[in-house]
Every structure is written in structure tokens, then in C-alpha cells.
A and B are shown apart, each in its own frame.
Chain A
Amino acid sequence: MSRPMLLLSQLLVAIVALALWQFLTSVPVFGRILLPPFFFSNPVDVAGQIVKWFSSGVIWKHLIITLWESILAFVIGSLAGVLVGFWFARQPRVAAVFDPYVKMVNALPRVVLAPIFTLWLGLGIWSKVALGVTLVFFIVFFNVYQGVKEVSNTVLDNGRMLGMNERQLMRHVYWPSALSWMFSSLHTSVGFAVVGAVVGEYLGSAAGLGYLIQQAEGVFDVAGVFAGMFVLSAFVILIDMGVTLVERRLLVWRPTAAEGRG
């Protein structure tokens, strides 16, 4: 399919879905409206709400708060994940001791930690950052751990035979290998940073996109809930596009699936 054709088809899906939504919430079928507007709102109202948020400028404050929380959660979680991942991979004994606890904490649904973080860190951004960190940390940690463990023995031996000492092996072999694994999970970890921020806001806060959705829900403002969801999706897509750009820059050396020549 050519690119304009593809874009057109994608646009068509959106138009059909929106039209169907508008139709079912406003035009009676066999004498009754299938989707009561009270529960389903309608595209026009939702669009109106979004426009109102942007034209009044209310939304920016919430977007910026959520963005900050996501960035902080990502940076702190990644740093901790890289450090601990490296440490465990290079010290198998430490890894073995902590193994059951790591598994235990990772198995815990992180949402249940939210109330604890709110108690400890208050209603401000740090309780949301903490929640995001617990999500991001494990993804990065497992990937870096794997990355260091799975360095090819031949490449390591080659490094040694070329005269590298432990520090140089770290810099030229372990580190790039671990980073490549971390970057390959970049989409997931950035996504989880946003999830942590929004869920945290939803459960208790005074600002942010999660807060906006929660507030709208509290007064049965379904249009507000949907509007919040749309803004959130657009926000995540934009971040994801940014990640894709970064990834292309950083992983040039990796074969992509399409050109995976042997």
C-alpha cells in the first residue's frame, strides 16, 4: 500500500468510528438511543471539552506536571536499574542472595504501593515519581542484567586477547551491550513511567492528567473523562515518537529485522 493510501485508510477508520459514536449517541435506532449520552457522551462534546482546555490554557499545567513526573520516574528508575543490574550481573553471589526478594517485589502489583507512597511522600509529585520508579526500575534492571550476562564469550575473549583490562572490558564490551538491551526496552520503560505518573495522580493528587480524569469522573462528566483519555493518548504518542528518534540515533549499529543479513 502506498503511503498516502495508508494514511487515508487510517484516517477513514477514525472518521467511521467517530461518526458511529456520534450517530449511536444522538439518533434513535428502532425508537431508542443505543448509547445513552450520559454514559457515553459524544464526540462533539468531547472535542468541545478538549478545545476549552487548550483555549483556556488549563491543560498545560496538568500536562507539564505529568511530563515532569514521567521524566523524573524514567531517569531515576533507569539509573537505579542500570547500577543494580550491572552490580548483580558482575557479582553472581549478591544476585543469588537477593534473587527471591527481587522476584517477590516484581511480582507485586505496583498499584498497591501507591497509598504507601502517598503516606510517605505526600500528595505532591514525588509519590507519583516513586510509583513510576518502581515500574521503570525492574524493566531496566532485568534488561541490563541480561545484557551484561549475555555478552558473547567470543567477543569477551577477543577483548581480552586485544589487551583490555577489566575496566576497558567494562567500557568497550559490557557497557555497550547492557545499554543496547536497555534501549531496546526504551518504549516499554518510558510507557511505564507515564503509567506510574497517571495512576498515581488518579489515586490522589492535586494536578496532572490523572487528576483531571479523576475529577471529571467524580462529577459524572463523561465528556471530561473521554477528553482526558484523548489528551493522554496524544501525549503518550508524542513521547513515543521522541523515543523512536532517540533509538534510531543510538542503535545504528544494530541490524533491523528487515535487513537482518547474516
Chain B
Amino acid sequence: MLNLIPLFVAVPMGLAFFTLITSKFSKRTSDVFTFLGVSFLAYLAVRLITAGNLDYMVGGWKWPLGIQLHVDKLTVILLLIINVVAFLATLYALSYMERYTAKPKFYALLLLMIAGMNGVVLAGDLFNLYVFLEIASLASYALVGFGVESEELEASFKYLILGGVASSMILLGIAIVYANTGSLNMADIAQFLSTHGERSSIYFVYALFLMGFGLKSAMVPFHAWLPDAHPSAPAPISAMLSGVLIKALGIYAIARIFFGMFGVNEMLGWIMLLLGTLSMVVGVLLALGQYDIKRQLAYHSISQMGYVMTGLGVGALAGSPEVAALGIAGGLFHAINHATFKTSLFLCAGAIEYSTGTRDMRKLGGLYKRMPFTSTATSVASLSIAGIPPFNGFWSKLMIVIALFQAKLYVYAAITVFVSFVTLLSFIKLQKFCVFGELKPEMKSVKEVPVSMVIALVVLALLCLGLGLGFPFIEGFLLDAASGLKELLVFNI
């Protein structure tokens, strides 16, 4: 298994350029190669579940100078999210992207984004983390503007500028860390900082990283790019951006760097909790006021990332290790669940747009009569995101709320429960307008989407239900991953 790890980056990166070249000779090749590539990656990620902690030194260079790829439970969770969602999004894109020209370029960008995200979660040192982060970000800027309509280009431009500011803050932070510690390897820095004590320049880095990665994970007040960028992209990319990218570049990086490298303290815990709660509330209230399906979903992404951040915040704050583990595990599980239901919702929104040509809720209605699979998938994913038992969202929210209670943060617990209610409200609205109600006369000829899209939707709906019903079996794994995260990083070389 160890020697297969570089393939997570190498396969998509190589395929990205390879498919572009082959598509010059035959259009279909890029479909085939991309699909085979992402299937292989998903398979690898699933196999990694039982692998345990692994460290791969690229080119055999010695630690801490060489490039290192690190795998532990947190990495496995993220790799699973990235590659499984990428597989389903590609499956969906096979039919969906027929409407666009330049399909091979789309695949190339998608593969680059996957390579970047896999690289971010595998990187053992800050500089490679930054490089892969930029690869993924640049690919996503291009993908947001893929439709090259005026709105999409504007969204892409805003995203590019704000993302660029965040990246430069991160780079500045990395430079300061390097100046202080003389190392870029995360475990090495962790060791150095824990032996040499705190310095105020490191606090400056905290702020830079929180802003930079906070922007990538769309925490309020750094969220403003997301509601423009996510809806503008083609549906499978919206799904990838909301379902995966903000976690891999934002949440994962914060978890890895602050928990594993700097080591959390109470103040950081409070900041995370406050950022998380603010994002939860602002995101969900704004979502409630939207009529564009994808825009509504985008605002919910902000809110749901708030949950994850709140879970991590409790983990950093709580004194007792059990409570901390519960909070972090809740946050991680919510990240997984969000990948399933939000991907599903964006793909459903795409399917609705594909069949009806609009994503304005007010123009839709009664789709359950014409698009049974899409409607059922929308309902299942809506129930999941609203935290209705026995779907998966219920469990992760329950874990976070219980952890908040145990840490005696009653007000935050109440806010969390309340946000969950507003989420429910917002999805009742979605259901009411799109799935149920009277079928509009001009929608009489609407048909269910092609089979490859239906398969992706059905698989995601089953995942929502399966992760919920199977929660007792994965709880242990999550708690293990959470306790592991609470420790400083130590690489076993």
C-alpha cells in the first residue's frame, strides 16, 4: 500500500495532460480515461481505510528535508471524501457536460483539481501543502468560469482575487514559520515549537492562517466569494467545490496545522467556536432568503462548514479528552456527511436545471410526478442536511450538540439546535417549491435525467441513509481519528 500513495497525485496529474493530448485524436478518449482514472482513485481510497498510518518519502530523501506524504485517519477520511465524490461527480458529468463544448478541457481541469486536493491532504510539509493548494485553487477558478457567460466570469474573477489574497496570506504565514523554526516539515515544526515555547510572531501566523484557510473554508466574514462562485460552476463542479474543496483546502488545513502542528489552546478554541457559530447563523439565515436553488445550497455550505468548525472548536476548548474527541469526531463526521448530502443536492439542482432549464424555485413545482428519482434524492438529502433521524446529518449534529452540552456551552448548543431548525425550514421551502405542489403547465414535458446521472444521485442518497443507519459501526473509527487529531503530529519515519 505504501508505494501506491504517490498515485493519488500522480494519476490525476498525469491524466490531466494525457487526456488533453489524446482528445485531439478522438473525442471519446477523455471520457473513458477520466472515468477509469477516478474509479481507480476511489478504489485506492477505499482500500486505504484499513491501512493504518503510513509515511512515504518521495525519492527516498531523508526526513525532515525530503518531500513527505503522510497518511493517518484524518487523511484517509479526506481522501475518501475527495475521491468518492470525484468519482460520482465524473459519472454524473458524463451526461451532464454534453451541453458544454470543450469537454476534454473540463476533464483536464477537474483532474488537476483532484490532484491538488489529494496533494494537500497528503503533504507532510507546509510548502507542498501550499503548492497543491494553489494547483487546486487555480483549477477551481477556471472551472467556476467554465460557462464563460458574464455572470460566471464575474464570479470567477471575484473568487480569484479573494482566493489570491488568502493564498498570499498563507504564503506569508509559511515564510514567518520558516524564519522562526528553520523547517517546513510539519512534524519537525511541531517538535521545535513544543520544545522552544511560544513566540508572539507565531500568534501573527495564527491570524494569517485563520484568515487564509478560513477564506478557503468560507468562514464568515471571509465567505463572500462562495455564494457567487459555487452556483456559477457547472453542477458537478458545484458539487465538488461545496462537497469537497472547501473541506480539503480549508477545514482539513486548519485541523492539520492548528491541531497537529501548533497544538491548540483555549484561545484558538474560542476563535474557532465563534467563527463556526457566526458562519452557522449568517449562512443559514441568508440561505433562507434565496430562490435560486444553487445559491441557497451555497449559503448552506457556509452554514454547514460552521458546524464542522464548531465541532473542532469544542474539541480545542474542552478540558476532558472524551468531550474533545466527541466534538472533533462530530465535526469530522459532519464533514463526511456534508460531502454526501451537499454533493447530492447540487447534483439534484443540476438535474433539475438539466431537465427544466431553470433553477428558480418559483418557476418549478410538482417535479415528483415527472422526475421521481431526482425528487426522492432531493428529499433524502434535504432530510439529511436538516438533521432528521435516521439520516446521517442527524448523528453528526447530535455529536456536536452533546459535546457542546458537556462542555457547558449551553448558549452555543441552543444556537446549534436553532440553526438546525432554520436549515429544516429552508429545505421545507425547497421541497415545497420544487418537489411538491402543482406541476406548471410549461413543465408537462419534463423528463427524468439520463441514467448515469440517476446512478450518481441514487448512490449518494443511499450513502446518506447508509451512513446514518451504519453510524454505530463507524463511531469508533471517528472517535479514534478525533483522539489522534488532538495529539501533535509525529511522523513515523
| Bound pair (A, B) | no
